[in-house]
Amino acid sequence: MKKVVGIDIGNAKTEIAFEHNKEVRFERIPSVTSYLTSVPDAPDIPLDKAVEDLLNNIVVYFSSTAVKQNGNYFVGKRALQSDRQKNVLNLQLGGKSDNDIPIISSLSLVAASSVKEYFEENQALPESLQIELKMVTAIPSSEFNTETSAKLTNRFKGIHNLTLYVSDQQVSVTIKVSECRVTEEGKTSMLAFAYSSPDILSLYNAQYNENKKPSDFLSSRSLHTDIGDGTTEFTVIDGVNPVPGQSEGIRSGVGHASEEAAKLLKKDSTMSISSKFTRQAFQEWLKRDDLKGDLARDYMNRSIYSQAQSISEQIQTAFQELAASDISYLFVHGGGSVTFKDALKEELTLFTKNNFCKLVWIPEEYASNMNSRGTFILAKNLYQSKK
């Protein structure tokens, strides 16, 4: 099996984008792993149900020179919901190029989605699966340089051996990463925007009473703000090309607000909550339509304001220092743009009006996968003809 994939290795989630039946498919899991000293008993469920829910129940033996510890792991949602020690990316330290979580999460997700794809086509599990992978991923501007890019590239490239536990069966998956490009987060966003449908401008066109499409922006100078989980990235772009040396990142985002809210929840609420309760688990609570969801949203709302103010101040600084106060458009996207929309959009609308530019706020349905779509488009342009 040959695959060309774009990978977004976020602090909160790992997402891959790839082509399936001539359509782009997105798969995501929480960026969480748990090391296992033994494999749990197989669940007593039909094989087709196990495959259908495989991405929520990734149990894998991971063997590779790219990671410090070979062994059995829960990955993604299965790790998040287990009572075992959880490994997550540290928001303060960063270091995606050194950490094992991006390697294990990304390649386990590729393996699991490929096994699921095989089962959908053949109605049976393969005993083994060989995948030749050509990929593009990205790391934050605050971490990106020639050394860290090369380090992560070299860790991904080569052969990785995985065994997926699916119901009471095992599937041996060998992933050979033959091509890998590690770029800078935020730089692929304009590429994703350029290839999007006009619907991506629905908020912009409604706000300014215009009827623009993405191609109308491809010769303009813009400042992109990509609000993520652990970092917020700022990139100055001329047309579709990032301006060298005019990008930076700060450690602000949804994860920092979630971490603070989770601390408040554990400290102030009457609930008995485990010390292993992570920000990713808290973010899962935010999606719930019940009393726990209401409680989580209450604490999250308390934490959003300070993060939003930090991001707003840094946007204004980036406008002055990175962009030299000379842009036509301020883009805001990333998963965090959904969380911070109410706290930021009105303020940034006034800021752009006062500074003779316009705000392009990317709608929710596009905002969170700009990086994975952008990395996939770049991967397709680089590698599709060689597939």
For residue 274, what pLDDT is reported? Answer: 78
| Residues 6 or more apart in contact with residue 10 via CB below 8 angstroms | 31, 228, 229, 230, 335, 371
Domain boundaries, the chain: 2-184, 189-254+285-367
The H or E element containing residue 332 is strand 329-333
For residue 387, what pLDDT is reported? Answer: 45
Distances 347 to 30, 313, 342 between C-alpha atoms, Å: 31, 11, 9
Superfamily of domain 2-184: ATPase, nucleotide binding domain (3.30.420.40)
**In angstroms, rounded to a whole number, what is the distance separating the alpha carbons of residues 333 and 266?**
30
pTM attached to this predicted model: 0.86
Phi, psi of 10 (to 5 degrees): -80, 165
Contact 34, 87 (CB under 8 A): yes
Contact 360, 204 (CB under 8 A): yes
For residue 272, what pLDDT is reported? Answer: 82
Distances 106 to 14, 16, 215, 298, 368 between C-alpha atoms, Å: 6, 8, 32, 32, 17
Token couple for 305 = 């304001």
Three-state DSSP class for 26? strand
Per-residue model confidence as pLDDT tens for the chain (387 residues): 999 999 999 888 999 999 988 899 999 999 999 999 988 888 889 999 999 999 999 999 999 999 999 999 999 999 988 888 889 887 555 678 899 999 999 999 999 999 999 999 999 999 999 999 999 999 877 788 899 999 999 999 999 999 999 999 999 999 999 999 999 876 788 889 999 999 999 999 999 999 999 999 999 999 999 998 778 889 899 988 888 788 888 878 888 888 888 888 888 777 888 777 887 788 888 889 999 889 888 988 888 888 888 899 999 999 999 999 999 999 999 888 998 999 999 999 999 999 999 999 999 999 988 989 999 999 999 998 654
**324: exposed, middle or buried (C-beta count within 10 Å: 0-12, 13-18, 19+)?**
exposed
**In angstroms, rounded to a whole number, what is the distance separating the alpha carbons of residues 362 and 293?**
26
Same fold? 2-184, 189-254+285-367: yes
**In angstroms, rounded to a whole number, what is the distance separating the alpha carbons of residues 246 and 237?**
8
CA 268 to chain CA centroid, Å, is 31
Specify which residues 360 forms β-bridges with.
331
Specify the CATH class of 189-254+285-367 in words.
Answer: alpha beta
**In angstroms, rounded to a whole number, what is the distance separating the alpha carbons of residues 372 and 28?**
10
Q: What is the 3-state secondary structure (H, E, C) of 164-198?
A: EEECCEEEEEEEEEEEEEEEECCCCHHHHHHCCCH
How many residues make up the chain in this entry? 387
